[in-house]
């Protein structure tokens, strides 16, 4: 018996009959098997939030991580490169498209 099932038994105690608990236990075991399969396939899956928010830590993680570089010619200074951070709204739009495509 794994630690998750033991913990659930501790939490529910006598509140649920053991037949019902058996069904819950079976479902947990199946979910753990599926999760292990996903983890064992490297690039096939990852547990990720459906949206990026400040509350789930994504904003702090991603702000300032992505940049676009623009080159232009200034007659006084010659060739110039400007480093512009990708806007938070753009990062969220890209992520939303990824989630929609991969069905997360």
User: Highest mean pLDDT: which of 8-12, 26-30, 87-91?
Assistant: 87-91
Q: Which of 84, 65, 82 lies closest to 73, judged by CA?
A: 82
pLDDT at 38: 63
Q: Is the pLDDT of residue 11 over 70?
A: no
**pLDDT (average), residues 81-97:** 93
pLDDT at 2: 53
Q: Is the pLDDT of residue 63 over 90?
A: yes
What is the Cα–Cα distance from 35 to 11, expressed in whole angstroms? Answer: 23
What is the Cα–Cα distance from 90 to 63, expressed in whole angstroms? Answer: 11
| Angle, CA 97 vertex, CA 92 and CA 99 arms, to 5° | 90
pLDDT at 74: 87
pLDDT at 43: 63
Beta bridge partners of 70: 82
């Amino acid at each position: 018996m794994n630690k998750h099932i033991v913990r659930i038994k501790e939490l529910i105690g006598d509140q649920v009959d053991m037949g019902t608990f058996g069904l819950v236990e079976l479902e947990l075991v199946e979910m753990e098997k599926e999760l292990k399969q996903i983890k064992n396939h490297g690039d096939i899956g990852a547990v990720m939030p459906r949206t990026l928010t400040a509350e789930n830590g994504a904003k702090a993680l991603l702000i300032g991580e992505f940049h676009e570089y623009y080159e232009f010619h200034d007659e006084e200074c010659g060739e110039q490169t400007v480093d512009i951070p990708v806007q938070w709204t753009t990062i969220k739009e890209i992520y939303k498209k990824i989630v929609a495509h991969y069905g997360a």
